[in-house]
Amino acid sequence: MAVVCSGAPGGGQVWHEPALTRVERSKRWGKMQCRMPVQLVAGAPVDVEFTFLLGEQQLEKGSALRVAWRWPFDWDCPTCIEIDCEGAEVVAHFEPQGDLNPWHHHIQLMVVSGVLGAGAEIVLRCLGWDAPTFITRAALFLPLIGIDEKSDWYRMVDPEPYDIVAGPASRLVVIAEGEVSCNQDSIVRVYGEDRWGNPAPLERAPALSGAEKVIYQGFDKRFPVHMYKVRFCKEGVYRMHACSAGLEGESNPIRIVSPNSSRLYWGDLHAGQSDIGCGAGTLGDHFAFARDVAGLQFASQQANDHYIDGQTWQEVRAVSHALDESGRFVCYLGCEWSPFTEDGGDRNVFYRADEPHLRRSDRFFSEDDPDPEPDFPQAPEFLRVMRERDVLLGLHVGGRPTNLDFHEPHIEPLFEIHSTHGTSEWFVLDAIRRGYRVGITGGTDGVMGRPGACHPGRRLTRNVNNGLTAIRADELSRSGLWSALKARQCYATSGARILLDVEADGHKMGSEYVATGVPELHVQVEGTAPIERIDVLCDTDIVYREQIAERQDKYLRVLWGGAESEGTAGDQRVHWDGTLSTMQGTLSDLVPVGLLSPLDQVELRDDRTVKWCGSTGGNEMGFTFCVEDVERLFIQTLQGSVQVDVKDALEKTQHHALGGASKRMRIEAAPRLDGQRQADLRWRAEELVLEQRAYWVRVIQVDGQRAWSSPIYVNPASDR
């Protein structure tokens, strides 16, 4: 069983011709050699020279060569291209979104006159080309030849692969488990991170403190991660501190609990794709990164099903089962059912155990011995079949957002509110508005091979950092987590490991119960940064807001954010480049908020002007600053202009809607950046419940990070 050709139906097709030997392929179509360092630094410029050596096939007018690369590789737009060839006029064209799936990006060399005969040599140089922003091993350029103007492309002999490594460490990351039993050993991971968010080597092993016992366990063999065995002897909440060569870092909060209590586990069900789908890196690397770098305790792989041929599915099964280890790292077998939104939209499929048969939405490939399993391209028939299987489905905003008109409650308890596509509160609000029982999750849905610790890079494919899911379960095993997920005992964050507990009249997050009196919520939060506020929601309305952070005198905060439209990453993305200025007084003490990429920058140009560039996908970013003797501010952005009365803004938040799905700016008194990280809130509804209500909580930190609890469903007593 082998793939003969690949590509989306109706789009360009790559003919792999698996029966050809390397010598035969070179003789028929030719080969491409690539001259550049075998190891690139993420995001750094490099000179690349491609040399095409044609085989027997000559190229006439209208035919072309291509060098293509896969969807996640965010090579920047080449700005200096040179071509050397004899016998024909050749024109180069860079295409950032081409017709070959998943080799979406390419440079095409089109013959516009003359003939390139058999054995001809064509040289393409890309000088000072900025490399992709994420680390990976054995990346490939795909050399192709098109003998006419049709959409068929034939593989030449591939060049040697290359690796991408991290740049210098610019910050220190410390990751711990969310909850640990008293006197139980657990692992804390410490590593450097470069400017693009990759794990980067440190000059020396970090010093780690904050627990009764800290024992250095050594260096991970595959990734530059330092591991420590730690132990706490008293219940409470702790944070570990690390330092190394001028860098300092603090862990997420660690709650120490009694040995017999349930535990909170951090992970990522929608961890994204490897090279099995449209992503980067092997499936083994995918899970190793999740476990050993991001410190996740559970994960899945979610390649789009239309990329997975029969042989590959057997590999997915084998790797997923081999890496599953109860008590350490739970690995669910999975994939993503991926029709167009009108037919049902993307749905994550998680298998509780094993599944030898794959039910696809479509096939972006042809096999010499096709998998006989039937495809299910539309939601009604797919959900009918899957309802009889031991599966859970996760609904989300991905490449093809889930169509909520189709829903099977028995197997669809999970709704994703945040991923690298963006912050998609509108998606969960829509589900609650329809009366669905919603368990809220966050994930990566990434393609860069960094599940649980992914950054948006140049925003070629994604917008924001990954989300995470916290599950409260009796044990770290497939069955233990499964029971908790079915009961919706989970919550989501935008990436920070915020501890969040919500109860209603003693009932846990995700529960459904009958209220005999007025519902009362108890909310407990341990943040990774000072907490700004807690919002209590009833269905889709905010019914109470607890302001935690105190305001700073003479300090304002400007935030921009939202989405252009409700859809995938590209649909949501909003560019916010702009300036803030004043005609009198001074601006000072500027502090950026919520920046996620080196492309996001805020600069105080002089004491009366701030300039920035940045993009959002449902999230918010901006800055705080001090104003002295300033009466009015003038803000200009790519999305619109705003004038601000400083006195009014210091007294009351100024909201400005700027179109799109949710584009907005907010100017208000800035919260203190050194406030409390812990909150304990009790809130009582004002009246009895007369019909079913969903009560849930949103936590917002001053750094922009968020957490969302799964709703608790409260039903009225039958005698009302």
The pLDDT of residue 446 is: 96
pLDDT given for residue 40 in this prediction: 99
* Residue from 108, 109, 82 nearest 96 by CA: 108
Which burial class, exposed, middle or buried, applies to 651 when counting CB atoms under 10 A from its CB (0-12, 13-18, 19+)? Answer: exposed
Q: Measured over all CA atoms, what is the biggest interatomic distance in the chain, rounded to whole angstroms?
A: 90
Give the phi and the psi of residue 306 in degrees, each rounded to 5. -75, -5
**CB neighbour class for 627 (10 Å; exposed up to 12, middle 13-18, buried from 19):** buried
Backbone angles phi, psi at 315, to 5 degrees: -65, -40
- Render pLDDT for 529-550 as a digit per residue (tens, 0 to 9): 999 999 999 999 999 999 999 9
Do 83 and 26 meet the contact criterion of CB atoms below 8 Å apart? no
CA 702, 705, 710 angle in degrees (round to 5)? 125
Q: Tell the residue number behind the tokens 């091979």, with chain if given.
A: 449
| pLDDT score of 388 more than 60 | yes
pLDDT at 389: 95
- Tell me what pLDDT residue 707 has: 99
Rg of the chain taking only CA atoms, in angstroms: 27
Residue appearing with tokens 């509108």:
426
Find the angle CA(211)-CA(298)-CA(198) to the nearest 5 degrees. 75
Q: What is the pLDDT of residues 316-354, one digit of tens each?
A: 999 999 999 999 999 999 999 999 999 999 999 999 999
pLDDT value of position 150: 84
Phi first, then psi, for residue 280 (nearest 5°) are -125, 150
pLDDT on residue 220: 84
Count the helix, strand and coil residues of the chain and give each as a percent rounded to the nearest 5: 10, 45, 45
Q: What is the pLDDT of residue 718?
A: 79
Give the tens place of pLDDT for each residue, 246-288: 999 999 999 999 988 899 999 999 999 999 999 999 999 999 9
pLDDT in tens, 576-607: 999 999 999 999 999 999 999 999 999 999 99
| Contact present, 479 and 674 (Cβ < 8 Å) | no
Q: In what order do the strands lie in the sheet with 39-41?
A: 39-41, 162-165, 136-139
Question: Which region holds residue 128: left if phi is over 0, alpha if psi is between -120 and 50, else beta?
Answer: left
pLDDT for residue 506: 97
- Is residue 720 very low, low, confident or very high in pLDDT (cuts 50, 70, 90)? low
pLDDT given for residue 660 in this prediction: 97
Q: Using alpha carbons, list the distances in angstroms from residue 526 to 677, 681, 700.
A: 6, 12, 12
Give the C-alpha distances (Å, rounded to integers) separating 701 from 71, 130, 213, 675, 689: 33, 34, 30, 10, 30
Superfamily name with CATH number, domain 498-550+674-720:
Immunoglobulins (2.60.40.10)
Tokens at 557, concatenated: 């905060």
pTM (two decimals)? 0.97
d(CA 710, CA 170): 35
Same fold for the domain at 3-165 and the one at 171-257? yes
> Is 397 in contact with 445 (CB distance < 8 Å)?
no
- The two tokens of residue 483 are 């029971």
- Give me the residue spans of the domains in the chain: 3-165, 171-257, 263-495, 498-550+674-720, 552-671
> 309 pLDDT exceeds 60?
yes
Query: Are β-strands 162-165 and 39-41 bridged in parallel, bridged antiparallel, or unpaired?
Result: parallel
Pull the structure tokens for residue 437.
């029982």
Identify the bridge partners of residue 41 per DSSP, sorted by sequence position: 165
171-257, what's its fold?
Answer: Immunoglobulin-like (2.60.40)
With beta carbons less than 8 A apart as the criterion, state whether 518 and 685 touch: yes
Closest CA to 558 of 673, 705, 666, 672: 666
Q: Is the pLDDT of residue 151 over 60?
A: yes
The whole-number pLDDT of residue 148 equals 87
Q: Is residue 719 predicted with pLDDT exceeding 70?
A: no
pLDDT in tens, 197-255: 999 999 999 999 999 999 999 988 899 999 999 999 999 999 999 999 999 999 999 99
Looking at residue 550, the DSSP 8-state letter turns out to be: P
What values do phi and psi take at 133, rounded to 5? Answer: -95, 5
Query: Which two three-digit tokens encode residue 582?
Result: 């004043």
- Reference 225, options 216, 212, 238, 235; nearest CA is 216
The neighbouring-strand residues paired with 161 are none
Contact partners, residue 409, CB within 8 Å, separation at least 6: 436, 437
Name the pairing type of β-strands 654-657 and 664-671: antiparallel
- pLDDT tens string 649-667: 999 999 999 999 999 999 9
Distances from the Cα of 528 to the Cα of 168, 453, 496, 533, 675, angstroms:
25, 16, 7, 14, 12
Q: What pLDDT score was predicted for residue 72?
A: 97
Question: For residue 279, which of 114, 69, 551 has the smallest C-alpha distance?
Answer: 69
How far, CA to CA in Å, does 279 sit from each of 39, 68, 75, 104, 497? 19, 14, 14, 11, 25
**What kind of fold does domain 3-165 have according to CATH?**
Immunoglobulin-like (2.60.40)
Instruction: Enumerate residues 6+ apart whose C-beta is below 8 A from 401.
Output: 341, 345, 346, 427, 566, 567, 568
CATH number of the 263-495 domain: 3.20.20.140
Cα distance between residue 6 and residue 17, in whole Å: 11
CB-CB contact of 618 with 561 (8 Å):
yes
Cα angle value 353/358/359 (rounded, 5°) = 115
Tell me how far apart the alpha carbons of residues 208 and 191 are, in angstroms, rounded to a whole number: 11
Distance (Å, whole) CA 636 – CA 624: 17
- Mean pLDDT score of the chain, rounded to an integer? 97
Residues 558 and 523: their CA atoms lie apart, in Å, by 29
Question: How confident is the model at residue 716, as a pLDDT?
Answer: 94
Instruction: Give dist(CA 244, CA 212) in Å, integer.
Output: 20
d(CA 557, CA 587) in angstroms, rounded, equals: 12
Q: Is 170 left (phi over 0), alpha (psi -120 to 50) or beta?
A: alpha
The mean pLDDT of 470-481, rounded to a whole number, is 98
Classify the C-alpha dihedral 455-423-490-536 as positive or negative. positive
